[in-house]
Amino acid sequence: RTAAGTAAAARTAPRPPFQLPYDGDAFTGRAAETAAIRTALGLAGPEGAGDTDDHAAGPAGATPRTRPVVISGMGGVGKTALAVHVAHRVSEAFPDGALYADLRGYCVHGARTANELLARFLSDLGVHHDTLPDDTDDRALLFRAALAERRVLLVLDNARNAAHVAPLLPAGGPSAVLITSRQLLADLPGAVTVPLAPLPEPDQHALLAALAGADRVRREPEALADIMAACGGLPLALRIVGGRLASRPSWPLALLAKRLTPHQGRLETLTMGTFDVRQTFAMSYVAMRDGDQPLEREAARAFRLLGRAWPGHGVTPQSAAALLDVTETRAAAVLDVLADAHLVLNPEPDRYVLHDLLGEYAWGRGEEEDTEADLTAATLRLLSWYVTALATASLVATRESQSPPPLAPETGVPLSLPVFADDDAAIRWTAGELPAIRAALTRAGELGRSDMAWRLAVGLFGYAGTHWWTTEWDTCLGQAMDIARAHDDTLGQAWLHRRMAVAHGMAFRNEACLAHLRIALDLFTARGDVLAQASILGNMSSLYSQIEDAEQALVYAELSRDLYREAGNTRGEALVLIRIADARQLLGDLDQAATAIRRVIELLRTDGHRLFLATGLTKYGDILRALGRRDEAFAALTEALAIRHRMEDAGGTADCLAFTARAHHHFGEGEAARETWRTCLELARTHNLTTRIDECLKGLAALSVPA
C-alpha cells in the first residue's frame, strides 16, 4: 500500500466511541468506593490511586477484569455520579472506547430493552450487518464477538434487575462493565458489588462548600448543620440545596434550613429543574407497587406502613410481622425485597430502618393510599408486639413470680418474640429498643390505649435494675400514669404506683417511695392480690433497711414471707430472706444475716439471675466484713463487681465499689480504700449519682484525703 493510501485509510478508520456523560467538577468524597471499583476493574495502582485527582490508568500493562462491577444504592445516593467519575479516570485503560447507556430501569415510560441497546452498541463499535438478527440472544452473540479482542468500558446506568443487563455483558476478554442499579443485583453471576451509603458529614460539608462557597457555609454553622441533617447525606438533595444557594447569593442559609423542616415542605423544597428527590423516590416505589410480583406489592404496603406507623424507628422481621399481620418468615422476605431495592436501610443483621427522607416520602404515600382504619390497626398490632416483647424481656431480667396480666391479642397470627439467653441479653435488648418503646408509649396514649401505655412503662422494670440512674424510667412511668388517670384505669394505676415506688427507692428518694408503696398496697389489697401484697411488703422492708429502721424492716420482711408462704410461692419466700438478712445485719445479728443471705445466693446461682446475684453477693460481702472474714468478704465483692461490669450497670457498679471501699477501710487498707473511693466518685460524677457522690466524699474525708 502506498503512503498516500495508508494515510487515507487512517483518516477513514472509525474513531473509538467515547460516550461518557460530563463529569462535573464538584464531585466529592467516595475515595474508598473509588478505590474498590478500580481494584475490581484490575486497575488498582499504587497508594493514592483511588484519589479523585488520579488520572492514571493503573500499572503498565494491566488488563481489566471482566467481572461486572455493580454500584448499588437508594435513589439519589450518587450511583451515576460515581460511575461516571470513575469511568473518566480509568478511560485511558480502554483504548477501544467507552460505551454508555441509561437503561431507564425505573422510568414510568418503560425501560430500554437489551435488544435495542445491542443494535446501538454494535453500530457504535462499527459492526455493520446487512440484516441484524431480531433475536436478542443472537444480537448478544454478535456483541460478545465484537468485544472479544477489544478493551472497551461499558457503563450501564439505572438497571432494573440482573435480567435487564445480562445480554449486554461481555463473555470474557479485556473489556469491563460498570453497572448502577437501585437493586443489589445479587443474582448477577460473578458481579462485584459496591454499595453506596449516604455521604458522611465531612463530605457533605465539602460538597456544599464547593457548590455554594466555602466562606458562605462557614458563616452559618448552625444552619449548615440543619441543612445537612435535612438532606440526610443524600448527594442529590445536597446538590439541589447547593445549586439553590449558588443561584441565590443573597439568601442566608437559615432561610433554606427553615424550608427544609421535616414534614413542612421539605420534599417540595428539594427540587430544582430536572433534579427532584420526590420523583427519584417515586420511580423506585411505583415500580414496586405496580410490579407483577405479589411480594413486591406487599413490600410497597410495608414501606407505607413503616413511614406512617413507625417513623424514625427500625423494625426486625419479628416486629414487622406484627405490623403487617403476617408470619415472621413472610415479613423477613418483604423486608429483604425493600432492602434489595434500597427502599430501607439494613445497617445490621435483621434490622431495617427507613432513611429520613424516604420515611417522609413513605408517610406521604401512606396518607394518599391507606385508610386511617388500616393505619390504626397496623399501629396497634405493632404496639401489642412491643408490650409483649418487653414483658418477656422484663420477666427474664427479673424472674418475677408475678407479672401484669397479658394483653389481649391484636394480631391474626401468633406473635414472634425475641428469645433472651439471660438477664443481660434481655436488658441489652431493652436498652437498644428504648427510643422505640418511648415512642410506642406515646402512640398508645394518643390512641386511647391506657392498657398498652402502662404495660410498656411497667415492662421497663428489668431494664431499670441497671439503668435507673438515667431517669428514663421515671419519665415513662409519669407519662403512663397521666394516661391511666385520664382513662380511669385503676389496674394500670396500681401497677404504676408499685413501680414508681421502686424507681424512687433505687434513687434513694425515700419519702416518695414509701408514699407510692402505701397507695399500691391499698390498691392491690382491694383487688385481693396476695402476691402483689407480698412483693410490696418486701419492698417496704427494703426501704426501712435503707433508712436504717431495723425493727420495721424485720416486721415487713416477715409479713412478706408469711404472705408468700400462704400463697405457696416458695421462690418468693426464699428471696425475701435477703430482706430479713438486711434487717438482721442492722440489728447486729450477723450470723443469722449471713445464714439467710447464703440461702438466697444458692437459689440465685441455681436460676441464673445474675443481677440479683450481684446484689446478694454485695450484701454478703458487707456482712462478712462486719464478721471480720476479710478474704471471704473480698471474694464475694469481687465476684459481684465482675457481674456489674459485664452488665454495664453503672449504678450497681457504684454500689459495689462503695461497699468495697468500706471493706478496705474496715481492714485498715487505707491506700486501697482511697483508690476505690476515687474510682467510685469518678463513676458517680459521670452519671450524676448524687447519693453516691456524697458517700464517696465522706469516705475520702474519713481517710483525711482531699477529694
Please report the DSSP string for 482-500 in residue order: HHHHHTT-HHHHHHHHHHH
In the structure, what pLDDT confidence band is assigned to residue 370 with cuts at 50, 70 and 90? very high
In the structure, what pLDDT confidence band is assigned to residue 469 with cuts at 50, 70 and 90? confident
How high is the pLDDT of residue 704? 73
Q: Dihedral sign, CA of 374, 376, 377, 381?
A: positive
Percent of the chain with pLDDT strictly greater than 70:
94
Does 465 or 78 have the greater pLDDT score? 78
Q: Helix or strand or coil: residue 400?
A: coil
Alpha-carbon span 107 to 20, nearest angstrom: 20
In the structure, what pLDDT confidence band is assigned to residue 381 with cuts at 50, 70 and 90? very high
Alpha-carbon span 651 to 680, nearest angstrom: 10
Per-residue pLDDT at 55 exceeds 70: no
CA distances 687 to 471, 567, 614, 694, Å, are 11, 40, 20, 13
In the structure, what pLDDT confidence band is assigned to residue 649 with cuts at 50, 70 and 90? confident
How high is the pLDDT of residue 52? 40
Q: What is the dihedral of CA 253, 258, 262, 265, to 10 degrees?
A: -110
Q: Helix or strand or coil: residue 344?
A: coil
In the structure, what pLDDT confidence band is assigned to residue 323 with cuts at 50, 70 and 90? very high
CA distances 478 to 362, 501, 694, Å, are 32, 12, 27
In the structure, what pLDDT confidence band is assigned to residue 333 with cuts at 50, 70 and 90? very high
How high is the pLDDT of residue 178? 96
Per-residue pLDDT at 291 exceeds 80: yes
Nearest to 99 by CA among 14, 17, 23, 15: 17
Percent of the chain with pLDDT strictly greater than 90:
78
- The CA angle 504-471-316, to the nearest 5 degrees, is 125
Average pLDDT over residues 405-410: 89
In the structure, what pLDDT confidence band is assigned to residue 608 with cuts at 50, 70 and 90? confident
Averaged confidence pLDDT in the chain: 90
Q: Helix or strand or coil: residue 620?
A: helix
Report phi then psi at 186, rounded to 5: -65, -20
In the structure, what pLDDT confidence band is assigned to residue 149 with cuts at 50, 70 and 90? confident
In the structure, what pLDDT confidence band is assigned to residue 282 with cuts at 50, 70 and 90? very high
Asked if 183 and 164 count as a contact pair (C-beta separation under 8 A), the reply is no
Q: Dihedral sign, CA of 437, 442, 448, 450?
A: positive
Contacts of 266 (CB under 8 A, 6+ apart): 230, 259, 260, 357, 360
In the structure, what pLDDT confidence band is assigned to residue 705 with cuts at 50, 70 and 90? low
How high is the pLDDT of residue 632? 96
In the structure, what pLDDT confidence band is assigned to residue 45 with cuts at 50, 70 and 90? low
Alpha-carbon span 146 to 121, nearest angstrom: 10
pLDDT tens string 200-248 = 999 999 999 999 999 999 999 999 999 999 999 999 999 999 999 999 9
Average pLDDT over residues 492-518: 96
**Helices and strands, counts by H and E, the chain:** 34, 9
Which H helix or E strand runs over 72? strand 69-72
Question: Residue 470 carries which DSSP code?
Answer: G
Domains observed in the chain? 15-195 (3.40.50.300), 201-273 (no CATH), 279-370 (1.10.10.10), 602-702 (1.25.40.10)
How high is the pLDDT of residue 232? 94
Average pLDDT over residues 514-541: 96
Does 45 or 202 have the greater pLDDT score? 202
Per-residue pLDDT at 466 exceeds 60: yes
Per-residue pLDDT at 50 exceeds 50: no
How high is the pLDDT of residue 66? 66
In the structure, what pLDDT confidence band is assigned to residue 49 with cuts at 50, 70 and 90? very low
Alpha-carbon span 251 to 254, nearest angstrom: 8
How high is the pLDDT of residue 206? 93
Average pLDDT over residues 139-157: 93
Nearest to 66 by CA among 170, 166, 161: 170
Average pLDDT over residues 65-86: 91
How high is the pLDDT of residue 172? 79
